[in-house]
Amino acid sequence: MAETALERFIRYAKIDTQSQEGSDRYPSTEKQFDLLNLLVKEVKELGYKDVEIDNYGYVFATIPSNIPEGHPAFGKVPVIGFLAHVDTSPDSSGKDVKPQIIENYQGGDIVLPGDPSKVIKMSENKNLAKCIGHTIVTSDGTTLLGADDKAGVAAIMTLAQVLSENSSILHGDIRIGFTPDEEIGQGTKYFDIKKFGAKYAYTIDGDMPGELNKETFSANSAIITIEGRDIHPGMAKNIMVNSIRAMADIIAKLPRDMAPETTEKYEPYIHPHTAEGSVVKSTIKFLLRDFKTSGLDEQKRILESIIKEVQPLHPKAKFNLEIIEMYRNMREKLDENPLVLECLWEAAEQAGANPYWEPIRGGTDGSRLTEMGLPTPNIYAGGQNFHSVNEWLSVDAMNLTVKTLINLVQIWVKKSA
């Protein structure tokens, strides 16, 4: 019996796939294999034989072309890939997710039953007003939901199901892929583009229908480590060097107009997201984000300048700044491949999604894949409030994603004829 995207999503959401920062294994958590192995099984059950999972957890499969010999597009359609990640964010628990289904949503705040203090407020969720009459899915408020990105996983699997049942939908070779560890910035660490075999790809890892993404932040991380000296507080005068105080002075000098909570659209930010400290050693971890890659150099200079200011206040402390490259804005390389964008735009228009391009104030696996040579813009999946217990999903929007994907594979045939 054919399954709906909702039924698939609910099943996937109940599987704990939370990734873990700082893990010494890949994927970062063994439990991600619970869903990855299930997807291998389900793809095979749809009748597709070219399905595999490797030691790193990457699941690749082929939906073979059904274009008949003699058709104008026969042998001409490039291999197209669709990708989604299975892991959920370390920011909120993904264990024992209890999805709540609200049919025919009629507006108003949504109180989450597992913790009534958690409320999805219309005043904070402008897209709820666009979802009157939709079926909405939330968690019970004690965990995140996992729409990021199990809605994308469900959409791809539903596409695979539809194509297996409808030979009248002409398409070229399609590669589908499910990846681990995207939420900790490691989703493409061992991704083999040559093995995947697509010329162009799309991540299904976005927000509400209409929003298409061809540009992301360029991203670095930064780590400032301060070394102090400990001694009993009763005999500390002129001996103790308290690294915590130095850490506090650095944080206090960060530009307040360059923070996530004070910026939007194309504005860059420096975000101290983790701070750990003791007298003898303290560490601050930062996210550095700018749509202009050159802006990351300026952010490094800002941190260097702050350290220079703080150093005389703590002359016996040792300061170290480390910069780690993460990913780069995919806009430039996608603009060099306009067809991958044109086909996506047309597919979204045909689906009635009223498309528009929106910069992602974050990154996707597509950022790194594009940089590696696989042009990969991002498509909406229907969720909101990612990484939070207030996460929610419009099922109607997810279904529109499936419709967009069906349109997209046919448009590539049309463009190739």
Q: Is 335 a catalytic residue?
A: no
Last residue of a domain, one of 281, 297, 327: 327
Q: For 45-88, how does the pLDDT look when each residue is reduced to its tens digit (9 = 90+)?
A: 999 989 999 999 999 999 999 999 999 999 999 999 999 999 99
Alpha-carbon gap, residue 320 to 299, rounded angstroms: 16
Same domain, 49 and 157: yes
Pairwise CA distance, residues 143 & 196, whole Å: 33
Q: Is a pLDDT exceeding 60 seen at residue 24?
A: yes
Distance CA 50, CA 77 (A): 19
Both 180 and 209 in one domain: the answer is yes
Last residue of a domain, one of 327, 348, 382: 327
Range of the domain at 303: 218-327
pLDDT (tens digit, 9 = 90+) per residue, 120-164?
A: 999 999 999 999 999 999 999 999 999 999 999 999 999 999 999
Q: One of 173, 181, 182, 365 is an active-site residue; which one?
A: 182
Helix, strand counts (H, E) of the chain = 10, 18
pLDDT digits (tens, 9 = 90+) for 323-382: 999 889 999 899 999 999 999 999 999 999 999 999 989 878 999 999 999 999 999 999
pLDDT for residue 3: 85
pLDDT tens column, 230-280: 999 999 999 999 999 999 999 999 999 999 999 999 999 999 999 999 999
Give the span between the Cα atoms of 332 and 240, in whole angstroms: 51
CATH number of residue 81's parent domain = 3.40.630.10
Task: Check whether residue 381 and residue 307 sit in a common domain.
Answer: no
Is 87 among the catalytic positions?
Answer: yes
pLDDT exceeds cutoff 60 at 1: no
Among 16, 42, 87, 205, the one annotated catalytic: 87
Q: Rounded distance, CA 402 to CA 381, Å?
A: 9
| Beta-bridge partners for 371 | none
Average pLDDT over residues 107-111: 97
Task: Pick the closest to residue 179 from 208, 210, 201 (CA basis).
Answer: 201
